[in-house]
Each structure stands twice: as structure tokens, then as C-alpha cells.
Structure 1
Amino acid sequence: MPADPRAVLSRPAPAPDATVSYGDHPDQLADLRRPAGPGPARPLVVVVHGGFWRAEYDRRHTGPLAAALAGLGHPVAQLEYRRTGQPGGGWPNTLTDVLAGLAELPRLAAAALPGQVAPGAPVLVGHSAGGHLALYAAASTPAAVAGVLALAPVADLAEAYRLDLDSGAVAALLGGGPAEFPDRYAAADPRALVPLRQPCVVVHGSLDRQVPVAMSREFVAAGRAAGSDVRLVELPGCEHFGLIDPESAAWPYVAAALRSLHKDH
């Protein structure tokens, strides 16, 4: 297990096999990775990175995660999107970029990785703020998402605003608080969008200091009460970054959770 949990954020990863654009903006792109082995075509896995939606964090820090998922036999796309602190980032473009990417990536990935991407909607793997975006996308465009693996997701934007997670990250994303922009919170907050129509697994560490595990407990409880096919895997002794680190003790649980979302597992 790495001594510094944040080491994964800067750990080198193999270069992607291809990069595709889903729009005209320089950040409307995705890195693609071929699945290891000669197996049959499998559904695309789209990784949505975290970083509290801020410009200083991009898809590259999920390189080790994406490479490990490809090593398990999945075709993988690392989705980039516009973020707060850069022109065009924040409401609504951060969210609509993810929807636009999901609309195009199955076609783009199938063309770039011939014979390796099965037809159909992808499974989303989102971490932290990327977990929020994955849950938002699943609720907003249910036909475009086959399932969600949410890793320590910011699953309640109103509560994250109240807790001032990452010093104003939610206000930077949505322009202010729930009292100022109730319509934005109603449209973007996963807690307000239950039930989901796809299966969802939420994985969260009990020692997470960036996103409290209570947020996932409450999101899953609300989803189950509303009829969602959602379950929580709570990992004792795990912090925030171990969930995206293939060298961590959390990795077997993350891999198993993803496997449970695939109909071909």
C-alpha cells in the first residue's frame, strides 16, 4: 500500500492508445485504452475524474486507474470536461460536457478500437466530483448509461455546500448556494434526482476526509427508499484516494464492484 495516499495523483501511467474529441473545445476529449487480452467485445467503461470540478485537476490523474481497468479486460475512456477556474467552466458547461461526451463516446470508441467495444450504453466510473457527474448523467440521460460505480461521490450538493467542501467548490460550480440558485441545485444534485433507473454501486472509505462517508450512506438510503437498485460498499480504514489506486488495499473491492455491474461478468 502506498505510504502517501495522494501519490496516485502524480504516478505515471502508460500512454493511452488513442485520444478522441467529442466537441470543438480543447477539453472536450477523452483518452481511450484497449482492453487487455483477446476476449470478446465488452461494454465501454467511462472514467469521470474528480478534483472538485476545478481546473487544476484533469483526467491524467486517473491514468493508473484507467490502465488497471483496461488490464482487467475493459475498453476504457477517460472523459475530460471543462472545469471551474477556466473559461467556460462551471454551470452549465461542466455538466453538459459530460452529457455530450457520453452521447458520442460509444461511437468514437468503437471506431478507434474496432472489435473491442460492445454496442450499448457504457458503465460510468466516477470518483469524488466525478462521482457526482456520473450520478448526474445517469439521472439526466438514463438511456445513455448502463450502470454507475460511484467512488466517494459528492452525492449531495446542498450538503456539500453547507459543509463548504474544498473551500467553496460547489459554489464555484453552480454560482452560489441553494438559496440563490434553487433551480440549479434541483437540476444538478444527485440527492434530488433519485431514484436512478440503472444499477449503481457506491464505494466509500470510512476515513475519507475530503467527502464524508455519511453523504454516501444517506444517498444510498434515500435511493433504496425510492426504489433504486443501489448499494453501498463501505471500506473500513480507507481514505479518499485509495479508491482510484490499483496498488491500494481498496482495489479488489473496486474491481469487484465494477464486475457486479457488467452483465457479462
Structure 2
Amino acid sequence: MGNDPSPDVMTRTAPPPDHTSHYGPHADQVVDLRLPPDRPADTLVVLVHGGFWKARYDRAHTGPLADALARAGYAVAVPEYRRVGSVGGGWPGTFDDLSVFFEALGTITTAHGLRAKRTILVGHSAGGHLALWAAARHRLPAGSPWRTQWRPDAVVSLAGCASLALTDVWSLGGQAASALLGGGVDDVPERYALADPGALLPLGVPVTLLHGTEDADVPVAMSREYAGLAEQAGDPVRLVELPGMEHFGLIDPLSAAWPHLLDALGSS
């Protein structure tokens, strides 16, 4: 994923989730749930992890952030999904998994007594891409198996790969977009048209983009480009640039990014 995080958010331990539920038969088709310790939650945060869609990065590194969000009063769902390098990951399995997960989410949360009034998607890095894409599925063609009329109440992208096309053109993550979709944007443009949130505007959903100016893994220019396109499409979008912040600080509740994330969730 590029530069080593500082401090140790990628390896820092966190308390285990309150529940882990399956949304499919594969070992990666699971979701961790965390609930606020002392009060019911009005808002469900779906936290989608990053790792350039690669199998060697799983949801475990989001534990500190998910735990902090739960302690801040949010119900938190952290889905796992098949990734490049695992059986069935990449195109189309990764997108199949996210779609099936969101279809099952209501049943899973209700089974654990959660009846949140609002749902906000939060995604980091490649998870930012998936969160934006999940919110854009109502823009997919009528024949797509991933199409739905469901929309979240808001999306918060943390140093997100908001444009798959730029992820490919800029060769981010060692040609990660090409590995995800089975080719570059010039090789399989029809796949990028279905999988790239930048190609599915307008979302019609409020979006906040948090991005560090010193991000060497996903340059802040990515969020700047997406924000410009979203504004042209008439979407409500807000870009918050964090001076001196690198890539992993966005998921560290001990970093200067944490109050900005809380503000984004509270104002969404």
C-alpha cells in the first residue's frame, strides 16, 4: 500500500467486534458489527476497507477506527469482500460481493436489534472507491445485476480511489485498477463504465472527500478531480484537504484527521 503508516494504525490491535455475520458462503463474505456501548445508535456507518483491492489486505486494520466510531455513538458495519488474489475476487466477484452485502445489510442489522435511521458509507483508499460505487448503483444500466434504487444518506471518502480511470492512468498500487478489472481503461472500457464512480455521476448523494496533502499512495489530486466532476454534475460535494497528512492517518483515530471525520459524519 506504499509508505509505512505512522503511527502503527495498520498493526494496532482493537477489541473484537460485537458480532460477525455471514452474507454469503465464501469465507470472505462476512461483516463485523460494532455497537455503541451505552446507547442506541441512530446512524449506521458502513466502513469499507482499502488495500488496492488486494487479498493480502483485509478488514483487520480498520479495527481501531471501527472501535472508535462505535465509542463515538455510531453503529459500525465492516464488510469483508473477495479481493484480487483470492478465489473469485476481482472482476466481477468483488462487485458481486458488495452488492449482495448491501442487499443483506438490513436483515443482518435487524437481527441484532439495530434499527438505525440513517446510513453513511465511509471508505478508505480502494474502499473509498467501493463506497462511492455502492452509492452510485442506481445509475447503472437497467440490465445490470448490481443496479438498485437504494441509496445511502451520505458518503465519506478517506483518501479514496474516486476515479478508477485515474487509478489506472496513474499506475497506482502497482496497476491495481487493471488487476481489479482485468485490464486498463483502454483495454476494457465497458468495465470501467460500470465500475468507476467517476463515470456514474451524478450520485444524488452528499459526498465529503477527506484527503491528506502529503498522500504518496493516492495523491490528493484524485479527490480534487472527482470533486470538480461532481460539482459539474450538480452533486453536493465537499473536499477537505488536510495539510501534512499522509495516506494512513485518515483511518487513525489518534491522528489529526479524526475530528474531521467526526465532523463529516455529523454534518452529512
How far is the alpha carbon of 1:221 from its aligned partner?
1.1
How many Å separate the matches in 1 of 2:6 and 2:198? 28
How many Å separate the matches in 1 of 2:203 and 2:89? 26
Structure 1 counterpart SS, 2:105:
helix
2:125 matched to 1:125?
Answer: no
Check conservation: 2:5, 2:249, Cα contact below 8 A. Answer: no
How far is the alpha carbon of 1:142 from its aligned partner?
5.2
2:243 matched to 1:236?
Answer: yes
2:22 matched to 1:21?
Answer: yes
Check conservation: 2:121, 2:131, Cα contact below 8 A. Answer: yes
Structure 2 counterpart SS, 1:76:
strand
2:73 matched to 1:73?
Answer: yes
2:156 matched to 1:154?
Answer: no
Check conservation: 2:33, 2:75, Cα contact below 8 A. Answer: yes
**Aligned position for 2:42:** 42
How far is the alpha carbon of 1:69 from its aligned partner?
0.5
State the one-letter code of the partner of 1:139: A
Q: Any idea what the Cα deviations from partners look like across 1:36-77, whole Å, max 9, x if unmatched?
A: 322x44131111000000000011100001001001101111
TM-score (norm 2): 0.92
- Higher alpha-carbon deviation: 159-168 or 55-64: 159-168
How many Å separate the matches in 1 of 2:222 and 2:117? 34
How many Å separate the matches in 1 of 2:152 and 2:7? 29
State the one-letter code of the partner of 2:128: G
How many Å separate the matches in 1 of 2:96 and 2:48? 13
User: Which of the residues 247, 255, 266 maps onto 1:259?
Assistant: 266
Question: Structure 1: where are the runs of 5+ without partners?
Answer: none
Check conservation: 2:41, 2:73, Cα contact below 8 A. Answer: no
How many Å separate the matches in 2 of 1:56 and 1:22? 21
How many Å separate the matches in 1 of 2:5 and 2:92? 35
State the one-letter code of the partner of 1:26: A
TM-score (norm 1): 0.93
Check conservation: 1:126, 1:151, Cα contact below 8 A. Answer: yes
How many Å separate the matches in 1 of 2:7 and 2:176? 19
Q: Any idea what the Cα deviations from partners look like across 1:155-176, whole Å, max 9, x if unmatched?
A: 1111111111111111110001
User: Which of the residues 243, 248, 254 maps onto 2:255?
Assistant: 248
How far is the alpha carbon of 1:110 from its aligned partner?
2.2
Q: Relative to 1, partners in 2 of residues 1:6 and 1:54: Cα closer, same or farther, differing over 3 Å?
A: farther
State the one-letter code of the partner of 1:155: A
How many Å separate the matches in 2 of 1:243 and 1:36? 24
2:60 matched to 1:53?
Answer: no
**Superposed structure 1 runs of 4+ greater than 3 Å apart:** none
RMSD value over aligned CA atoms?
Answer: 1.4
How far is the alpha carbon of 1:103 from its aligned partner?
1.4
Check conservation: 2:50, 2:124, Cα contact below 8 A. Answer: yes
How far is the alpha carbon of 1:191 from its aligned partner?
1.2
State the one-letter code of the partner of 2:136: A
**Aligned position for 2:145:** none
How many Å separate the matches in 1 of 2:66 and 2:258? 12
How many Å separate the matches in 1 of 2:62 and 2:5? 16
- Higher alpha-carbon deviation: 238-247 or 143-152: 143-152
State the one-letter code of the partner of 2:97: D
**Aligned position for 2:134:** 137
**Aligned position for 1:177:** 184
How far is the alpha carbon of 1:31 from its aligned partner?
0.5
Question: Structure 2: where are the runs of 5+ without partners?
Answer: 138-147
- Higher alpha-carbon deviation: 59-68 or 157-166: 157-166
How far is the alpha carbon of 1:107 from its aligned partner?
2.1
How far is the alpha carbon of 1:6 from its aligned partner?
5.8
Structure 2 counterpart SS, 1:150:
strand
Check conservation: 2:14, 2:64, Cα contact below 8 A. Answer: yes
How many Å separate the matches in 2 of 1:99 and 1:21? 14
How far is the alpha carbon of 1:117 from its aligned partner?
3.1
Structure 2 counterpart SS, 1:78:
strand
- Higher alpha-carbon deviation: 71-80 or 144-153: 144-153
